[in-house]
């Protein structure tokens, strides 16, 4: 990532420095049998679009996670300058305790 890379998520509409985020690695502690599958990867002159499916079992709730996300990367001379992360609303549902 380029210095000052910005990360944006559709669920909160905030722009945050990527270096301040824990990142996807934090999921390993929260989700058992975690897998990520790239189902689409497109490149274009200013970056890339990557569509992924994240699956596993949320350890705290026992619920299945089956989230379809899309990541748009903007690339500049020093690497990735922006990450627009479109998170599936089902992602958060799997982490909520059962009623």
The whole domain housing 66 covers 6-93
pLDDT tens digits, 35-80: 999 999 999 999 999 999 999 999 988 989 999 999 999 999 899 9
Query: For residue 20, what pLDDT is reported?
Result: 80
On whether residue 99 sits in a domain, the answer given is: no
pLDDT top residue among 99 and 26? 26
On whether residue 1 sits in a domain, the answer given is: no
Beta strands at 31-44 and 64-76: parallel, antiparallel or unpaired: unpaired
Query: For residue 66, what pLDDT is reported?
Result: 92
On whether residue 42 sits in a domain, the answer given is: yes
User: Would you place residue 23 in the very low, low, confident or very high pLDDT band (cuts 50, 70, 90)?
Assistant: low
CATH number at residue 55: 3.10.450.50
How many domains, in total, are found in the chain?
Answer: 1
pLDDT top residue among 98 and 45? 45
Query: For residue 50, what pLDDT is reported?
Result: 97
Cα–Cα distance, 40 to 46 (Å, whole number): 17
């Amino acid at each position: 990532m380029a210095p000052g890379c910005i990360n944006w998520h559709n669920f909160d509409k905030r722009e945050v420095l990527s270096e301040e985020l824990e990142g996807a690695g934090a999921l390993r502690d929260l989700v058992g049998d975690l897998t990520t599958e790239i189902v689409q990867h497109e490149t274009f002159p200013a970056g890339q679009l990557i569509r992924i499916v994240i699956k596993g079992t949320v350890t705290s709730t026992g619920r299945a996670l089956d989230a379809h996300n899309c990541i748009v990367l903007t690339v500049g001379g020093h690497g990735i300058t922006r990450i627009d992360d479109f998170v599936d609303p089902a992602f958060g549902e799997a982490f909520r305790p059962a009623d």
